[in-house]
Amino acid sequence: MGLLTVLKKTRSNEKSMRLLVLGLDHAGKTSIIKRLKGEDVTTVSPTFGFDIFTLNYLDYNLNIWDIGGQKSLRAYWRNYFEQTDGVVWVVDSSDEDRLEDCKQEFDKLLRKEKLMDATLLILSNKNDLLSSKSVDEISAHLGLELITRKYKIVSCSAITGTGILDGIKWLVDDISSRMFALQ
């Protein structure tokens, strides 16, 4: 996000944030959003393309873009990067077979210039499953110790709801401290 975007938001007194929710298919992106909205998470269909939701959180309107994670759709993710304030990267911590694919896509995402200023939240989802990896294991696999930008990784479960609000609170606090500090 450029300085002009920050100034526009400051001048208009707009308190909205644009968040992208990305990750491989079946990581739990839509389930996490449904949990945030207070909806039933037992029936979730894969997202083909994208869905947009607006949630009111504290004094902010969160414009959340849930982008499908199927391999055929990942090349189109870049079409949604413009004016993004925060990225939520969702990892299926129980799917060891796809962790390398997850790392490759995550690495590509980190190199995108339009996302360089976006706050990064990594949700290590499905911690309610016995086969799930710990946050430390996911962090090591993704190589988070090498990242120079601000980020946070949070263990969560879309089914139980644990960890999700903690992660969103951190994300909103970080974005608001950058964008709305002059208000």
Segment 9-37 shows an average pLDDT of: 86
Residue-level length of the chain:
183
Query: Under DSSP, is residue 22 helix (H, G, I), strand (E, B) or coil?
Result: strand
What percent of the chain clears pLDDT 70, i.e. is strictly above it?
91
d(CA 144, CA 98): 17
Is the pLDDT score of 178 beyond 90?
no
> Nearest Cα to 157, choosing from 100, 90, 105?
90
Nearest Cα to Cα of residue 92 among 114, 48, 70, 123: 123
Residue 121 backbone phi and psi in degrees, to 5: -115, 125
Q: Which tens digits make up the pLDDT trace of 114-166?
A: 999 999 999 999 999 999 999 999 999 999 999 988 999 999 999 999 999 99
Residue 172's alpha-carbon distances to 6, 14, 32, 75, 115, in angstroms, are: 15, 14, 16, 27, 16
The stretch 20-36 carries a mean pLDDT of 96
Give the catalytic positions in this structure.
Answer: 70
Question: Does residue 30 register a pLDDT over 80?
Answer: yes
Within 8 A by CB and 6+ apart from 91, the residues are 23, 27, 99, 102, 122, 123, 124, 125, 138, 142
Note the pTM of the prediction, 2 decimals: 0.90
Structure confidence by residue, pLDDT tens digits, 112-125: 999 999 999 999 99
Give the pLDDT score at 6: 46
- For range 32-51, the mean pLDDT: 88
Residue 7 has pLDDT above 70, yes or no: no
- Domains of the chain (ranges; CATH) run 3-179 (3.40.50.300)
Say what the pLDDT of residue 48 is. Answer: 81
For residue 170, with 0-12 CB atoms within 10 Å meaning exposed, 13-18 middle and 19 or more buried, which class applies? middle
